[in-house]
Chains A and B, each alone.
Chain A
């Protein structure tokens, strides 16, 4: 069964966002998303210092089944990217909420996080989608 950690916020398009103690927001794709995609073979990350608007395209994740856009959950500047995914995209499957993170944003307005789905709402969304 897919995991839906309580401390995360989600987009219906399957990205998660975590507000870190230093005020940055870490972004990745959910456990449900990596299961649906199957083996991830390629990840395209945003560029460092890129200014992203909330819900704008921030990258691409590709599996043997499909290629999907990754959207930014909140607006802000990209301050870190997980370069390890370029050589080891399978990390997204192995550890979607930890080592498989995609990028970190310095958010323009952290309150935007409150507009995202809670873990419980997102879980319900996924269960609906898979039926």
Chain B
């Protein structure tokens, strides 16, 4: 039910009205509306009830375990939220002069330094507003670098076929052609195929490490050597940074540029809960191309915005102001809450939880996609056998998990693995919760064997049952039509 369906003419939440305002006198008459705005007319209690009831239908990290692989749905600590919600931050105008923004700027400068430190890069710009924009900024810098060197023949970006779909999309957005590099059965990049693919046309290679196969790329330094020898640059997609946080640095692996998803690795809200944040980090070769603004520190110390004057070859601005400032402050507070020691523990526990869960599920009878490899922060099981023999698919398992009170893992990704679930427990779940999930998976496997229709018909406890996702995709209908008669 929409809030509009509760509407009744003349009703209102008068206790929420501010003091009466003078009608705007300086707006030209043709810009004033002649009929009232099409807003729902409801009481305060109706509003509270409507949205409280909607929120109770949410599956969220605050209510349920959310092992959505590749998304790092870790807990968003309230302390970080509280720190970023202090009035001095909330009420600062984005155009406030630097002299009145020193505290804010100091926080961002320190965040830049922390991110440099954990990634092993030489400089960081916080301004990209989300992961996709960070990717765009990173590949745009690769392009600007080759152009500045007069190296115009570099038209191709290499991408392993296990990559996130955003990687080829980014390369194409930046004007490159995409060439796929195959991945071996063990989940590593096929180094011989890579050698055959590089050449004077190679602008760079985009990689996620650990990859979307949930394994660490063991020959990364050799890969970096092959790409660098051919004159290309290496792009690190930070989607899986949580696995290696505090353990190994992309800069040390040979990457020239990366983006981080602070909304994953640095625990800021996402998945509908908040805007993303995708800072970029660069090695020496790309410092001159960073997107502006960047925060600089001068003796005093005094902090100031660095703009086009300071970074003349910058690829430019990506947003009107400074990225998603409130999210950056939450990430900063998260980093401070963890401290250096805590940062080291993130990757360790994320990896331990994933490996424990992978082995326990194997004991329950599930098939791991890469049984001989140690999992990183996430791992893949394939239900191809169950689908073939029992007629119960990965999607059926995912839907049945909802009835057991768990958000489903990522389904049917990566595309290389048939009937797969990509499972990422993160470091913020306790042993009991992880065991509960393992037990639920075991119970569903038993159901699939004894009563497959039960699993195929799930979920039974949700506000909506199995959706017709085929119809939804074929007959797209996204417009909200105001249900009320025209005035």
Contact = CB atoms under 8 A, between A and B. Distances in A.
Interface of A: 36, 39, 41-42, 62, 64-68, 89-90, 129-131
A89 B384 contact: no
Contacts of B473: 41-42, 62, 64
Nearest to B387: A130
Most chain A CB within 10 A, of B165, B415, B470, is at B470
Nearest to B384: A130
A38 to B, nearest CB: 8
22 contacts: A36-B418, A39-B470, A41-B470, A41-B473, A41-B474, A42-B473, A42-B474, A62-B473, A64-B469, A64-B470, A64-B473, A65-B412, A66-B412, A66-B415, A67-B165, A68-B415, A89-B474, A90-B474, A129-B418, A130-B384, A130-B418, A131-B384
Interface of B: 165, 384, 412, 415, 418, 469-470, 473-474
A66 B413 CA distance: 9
Contacts of B415: 66, 68
A67 B290 CA distance: 33
A130 B412 CA distance: 14
A1 to B, nearest CB: 11
Contacts of A42: 473-474
A39 B469 CA distance: 9
A14 to B, nearest CB: 12
A62 B474 CA distance: 10
Nearest to A88: B474
A-B pairs, top 10 by smallest CB distance, nearest first, are: A41-B473, A39-B470, A65-B412, A64-B469, A41-B474, A66-B415, A64-B470, A64-B473, A130-B418, A41-B470
B30 to A, nearest CB: 43
A19 to B, nearest CB: 28
Nearest to B413: A66
A39 B418 CA distance: 15
Nearest to A66: B415
A44 to B, nearest CB: 14
Contacts of A64: 469-470, 473
Most chain B CB within 10 A, of A62, A64, A67, A89, is at A64
Nearest to A65: B412
Most chain B CB within 10 A, of A65, A67, A89, A90, is at A65
